[in-house]
Structure 1
C-alpha cells in the first residue's frame, strides 16, 4: 500500500511598503499618516509544485503584494497595524482553499505629528526613532496569535545610575560607582490574549493606544519622577522593573513580555 506524503510549503512576499493617509479635518485631529513595511507568509499544501512542476497551488508574490495595497485602500476607517494584519490573515486563509495559515509581520516607520507654535499641525509629520512592530498568525480554523513590540527605543539619563558589588578578578579594571550616565536601547515584545478570531472585541481594541501606553510605562519606570528620578543599581535591575511594571499595569491585556536592553 503506497504511503501518502503531505508537504506543507511556506512562501510569501516581504518588504511591501505601504503608506496610508486618512484625511480628517483639523478639528477632528487632522490627517493621520502611517508607513508600514509588510511581510506576508502563507502555508499551503503545494506538493505538486515540488514534484510535478504544477504551480497551481502557489499564491504568486505579485498577488500578495497587490492584495496588501488593495486591502490598505479598502480601510476607509483608521485601523491599527495589528488590525490590518488580521484583515490580511483572514483574507488569505479564506480566499485560497489550499492556504491553511497566514503569518503577517508589519514594522511601522515612526512618523510623528509636528507642532507649530505649540499647536499640533493638521498634516505635518516628522520622523521619529523607535519602531512599532507586530507579528500576527491566522489559521483557517480561526486560531489567532498576536505579538507586538517596540524596537530601537533609545533612553538616557545623566545621573541616578551606578554599578557596584559585581564580581572582580585579575582581569577587571572597571571601578565601582554610584554616579554614572546610562544610555540604552530597549526592545520589548508582548502577546495579546486573543487566541481566536471570535475573541476579538466587537468594538475595535485600540492596539495603537496600548502600544503608546506600554512605551510610556517603560520610560516612566526607567526615568522615575521628573524632579528626582529613580536610582538604577544595574541595567539588569532596571530591565526587570520595566518589564514587571508593564505586566502589572496591563495584566488582563498583555501576556508575558520579553524585554531587553542593549
Structure 2
C-alpha cells in the first residue's frame, strides 16, 4: 500500500522573547508548532533517515529564530521560521508554522506603566499560521478561546417547533460564547497586532451593541464588520459555542427568577460556525 502523504515536525515549543532595547521591556510568549513536508518518504517506507531533520533540531532552530526576531509580531516570526527551513534544507518542500500567543499586559501602578512588570491576560490566545513553499506564502491570523457575553439584548424565537422541542422561546436571554476566529489575509498589513486588535474590538462592539436574534445572526454581522474594518482580510471564519445560562425555577420557593438567577452550563452546548468572505 502506498504512502499517500506525510508530514512531521515539533509541537508545543514554548518560547518567551524579551525585547530590552529601551527601559520599557516588551515580552512575547509563544507556543510554536513547525511541520515539514518534503522528501521524507524513505524514513517511513525504507527505514532510511538520511534526509530527516531531527525534531530536536527543529526545536533548536525555533529558539535561534526567536533570538533573531525578538520584536517581530507572531505572523512575521512564523514566516521567518518557515522560510529558514526552506533555505537550509533542500529536501523540505513546504513548512507550516503555527503559533498560539500567551498575552502579557503591562502592569500599572499609581496610574503609570511599569517598565518590566507584567500581568497575565487570561482571555483567549492570539493565533497565527504561516504556510510557505518554494513559490507561495499564506498567512492566517486570529484568536482562540476568546470569551465574552451580554446579559440582555439577545433572544431565540420563531424556530422549528415539533414533538421533540422542549425549549421555550425568549426575547431576553444571556448570550455568551468562547470564540475561535481566524482570518485569511489577501495582503499582510504593516502592523499585524494593531489590525488584529482592531478586528477583535470591532466584532465585540457589534456583538454588544446590537440585538441578537440568534448567535448565527450576530456572527454574520460580526464577520461583515471585520471585513469592513480591515480591507486586507480575504475571509473570516468564526466558531462559537453557545454557552448556556439556564434560568433557575424559583417558583417552588414563592420567588420569581426575573431573569436574574441562572445556572451556568458548558455541555451540551450549541456550536455555531460560519465563514464570511468578499463577493
TM-score above 0.5, yes or no: yes
Offset at 1:7? 7.7
Give the strand-richer structure, 1 or 2: 2
Q: Which has the higher contact order (CA 8 A, sep 6+)?
A: 1
Aligned to 1:227: none
Aligned partner of 1:161 among 127, 140, 154: 154
Alpha carbons 2:185, 2:235 under 8 Å: kept: no
When residues 158 and 52 of structure 1 are mapped into structure 2, their CA distance, relative to the original with a 3 A threshold, is closer
Alpha carbons 2:198, 2:229 under 8 Å: kept: no
When residues 11 and 238 of structure 1 are mapped into structure 2, their CA distance, relative to the original with a 3 A threshold, is same
Q: Which sections of structure 2, spanning at least 5 residues, go unmatched?
A: 242-279
Give 3-state SS (helix, strand or coil) of 2:7's partner: strand
Alpha carbons 1:44, 1:57 under 8 Å: kept: no
What do the CA deviations read for 1:85-114 (whole angstroms, capped 9, x no partner)? 110111000111111111101110122222
- 2:247 maps to 1:250: no
When residues 179 and 7 of structure 1 are mapped into structure 2, their CA distance, relative to the original with a 3 A threshold, is closer
Offset at 1:83? 0.2
Aligned partner of 2:131 among 137, 145, 155: 137
Aligned partner of 1:69 among 60, 63, 72: 63
Aligned to 1:48: 42
Aligned partner of 1:94 among 81, 87, 91: 87
What do the CA deviations read for 1:172-213 (whole angstroms, capped 9, x no partner)? 23222222222111111111114xxxxx78xxx211111111
- 2:154 maps to 1:183: no
What do the CA deviations read for 1:19-60 (whole angstroms, capped 9, x no partner)? 01112435xxx2111110001111121233234433110011
When residues 53 and 231 of structure 1 are mapped into structure 2, their CA distance, relative to the original with a 3 A threshold, is closer
Offset at 1:73? 0.8
Aligned to 1:197: none
Alpha carbons 2:130, 2:138 under 8 Å: kept: yes
Offset at 1:79? 0.5
Alpha carbons 1:82, 1:146 under 8 Å: kept: yes
Q: Which sections of structure 1, spanning at least 5 residues, go unmatched?
A: 195-199, 225-229
Aligned to 2:29: 35
When residues 93 and 178 of structure 1 are mapped into structure 2, their CA distance, relative to the original with a 3 A threshold, is same
The alignment's TM-score, normalised by the length of structure 2, stands at 0.80
Aligned to 1:218: 203
Offset at 1:166? 1.6
Structure 1 residue ranges (4+ consecutive) displaced by more than 3 angstroms after TM superposition: 5-9, 50-53
When residues 8 and 164 of structure 1 are mapped into structure 2, their CA distance, relative to the original with a 3 A threshold, is closer
**CA distance in structure 1 between the partners assigned to 2:3 and 2:165 by the alignment:** 57
Residues 234-245 of structure 1: matches in 2 within 5 Å?
234-245=214-225
Alpha carbons 2:143, 2:181 under 8 Å: kept: yes
Give 3-state SS (helix, strand or coil) of 1:161's partner: coil
